[in-house]
Amino acid sequence: MKGPRDYYKHGDQNAYCDECGFKFKLSELHDRWDGARVDEKCWEPRHPRDFPQIPRVEKPGQPGTGNESTDNTTNVTYSVTPTVPSGTFDADSVS
């Protein structure tokens, strides 16, 4: 059965849309991301969730990040001999 798409065009041929099944000229069909040849109405872009974004983690101490100093240690000096507080203590004042 002949339809409106059955006409001669030099260098072109008839083809069917893989989505809707209607007949088109091969030059009117587009390749979709999943490998199907579809017409303009059936064509759709690939969903952005198919390409997940990996969060960038900045390394500490990189120039320009504001984290130039990551040294959070404090120097502590300990005495070698233990010190005992001076003073007198009465046995009566201790309860």
75: its two tokens: 């120097």
Query: So what's the pLDDT on residue 39?
Result: 95
User: Whole-model pTM?
Assistant: 0.49
Between the alpha carbon of residue 69 and those of residues 61, 79, 86, 90, the distances in Å are 7, 29, 42, 52
Position 39 in a domain: yes
Domain carrying residue 41: 14-45
Instruction: Check residues 73 and 20 and name the one with the higher pLDDT.
Output: 20
Position 24 in a domain: yes
Position 72 in a domain: no
Write the pLDDT tens digit of every residue in 28-50: 999 999 999 999 999 999 998 88
